[in-house]
Amino acid sequence: MAAQTIDDLLASRGGDLSGTRVLVRSDLNVPLDGSTITDDGRVRASVPTIQKLAGAGARVLVTAHLGRPKGAPDPAYSLEPVAERLAELLGTPVLFANDTVGTEAQRITAALQDGQVAVLENVRFNEGETSKDDAVRGAFADELAALADVFVSDGFGVVHRKQASVYDVATRLPAVVGGLVQAEVEVLERLTESPERPYVVVLGGSKVSDKLGVIDNLIEKADSLLIGGGMVFTFLKAQGHDVGSSLLEADQLDVAREYVERAAARGVDLVLPTDVVVAPEFSADAPATVVAADAMPDDQMGLDIGPESAERFAEVVRGARTVFWNGPMGVFEFEAFAAGTKAVAQALTEVDGLSVVGGGDSAAAVRQLGFTDDQFGHISTGGGASLEYLEGKTLPGLQILEKES
């Protein structure tokens, strides 16, 4: 992407950011169980950029969101537990402001020393962050910008949002792209512009409608398209098969048929499961049975791809030079219905080339199933942002950085 980077910023200042207040928009939107972080992947991914800035002497102010509070403070969505985890990962104290732009944030900013890091409270506790009104959003961006001298955009999971701390601040301060966003975009450019072949796309998750744009775009680029997860039952139904009580989007049947036809016309190998794991209800302890994909009982629902399909999917993935995967193959949270997702994840670790886990549930799945981040070429921190990029959409948080450069 044609945007200024942290290296450009450092070069322009002789490698020394001492005395410079740097506002970093990170993505710290992690899952919490009470105040316990259940997956700190996004926090760990934010560390290198923060370390690089602090190491150059910058006074680092980290802003981020957590969950979807309603534009007002809500203790359930406080970033304080995240700030504590960030301090552990950085190996240095991290200050925490219990507001975003108020008296506490101003006090901590004024007291911050060279190389120190502070986290501001959840940016979405302020209605101006997500407002559709440019003036309201802009007024909040003014308050954020007043705290800093430079802006670093490093929250890839939000670059598809036109929000104050993502978009508007970049118009008010010298703005550069952070290392995480830079790395994410470089991977996505490889997926869309110059993928090594064979290029395999694996899509899962619950709904076809969530993936329409990415299927539209990637069916023009991929060599193989593997479909699993809840969305597969719409494809099976479109082919005339009964799907029992499985998840079904009846309004997408014609779309599914069109994708099958387009894939065939373009010579794309569209692979659907030949067997599925079914159960009478959506439950962790429901009795699981393997049936042929074209012979699902009326009183059963599909909750995973079957072992034959898992083996086939894994074989195609292992033979690829480039793989993009977004969406689990089944209800991986339940052990009885996790085998399909685990098989695909294992195959990705064996790819001789670029393997990309496309954020969201896929990233959560690989970690829950015991895989480590370094077993994959890249694990995205932004499921929605990744998909919109792959759809060919313009992402406001990236567009504004390119404009500013």
Residue list for the binding site: 27-29, 42, 65-68, 124, 161, 211, 302, 333, 359-362
Pick left, alpha or beta for residue 67 (phi over 0 → left; psi -120 to 50 → alpha; otherwise beta).
left
Catalytic residue chosen out of the listed positions 25, 42, 137, 221: 42
Catalytic residue chosen out of the listed positions 13, 190, 207, 318: 207
Rg of the Cα trace of the chain? Answer: 23
Distances (CA, A) of 248 to 165, 214, 231, 243, 277: 38, 19, 7, 8, 16
Residue 213 CB partners (closer than 8 Å, separation 6+): 387, 388, 390, 391, 392, 393
Rounded Cα distance between 100 and 80, Å, is 12
Q: Is 207 a catalytic residue?
A: yes
Q: Tokens 């292992």 correspond to what residue?
A: 318
Catalytic residue chosen out of the listed positions 102, 319, 377, 384: 384
Q: Can you read off the two tokens belonging to residue 311? A: 């083996």
Rounded Cα distance between 275 and 304, Å, is 9
Q: Is 42 a catalytic residue?
A: yes
* Identity of the residue numbered 24: V
Rounded Cα distance between 298 and 291, Å, is 12
Residue list for the binding site for (2R)-3-phosphoglycerate: 42, 124, 161
Residue list for the binding site for substrate: 27-29, 42, 65-68, 124, 161
Catalytic residue chosen out of the listed positions 204, 205, 330, 360: 360
The H-or-E segment that residue 85 falls in is helix 80-90
E strands within 29-168?
Answer: 32-33, 36-37, 59-63, 94-97, 117-120, 150-153
Residue list for the binding site for ATP: 211, 302, 333, 359-362
Distances (CA, A) of 264 to 196, 253, 258, 309: 21, 17, 10, 20
So which residues are the catalytic ones? 42, 207, 360, 384
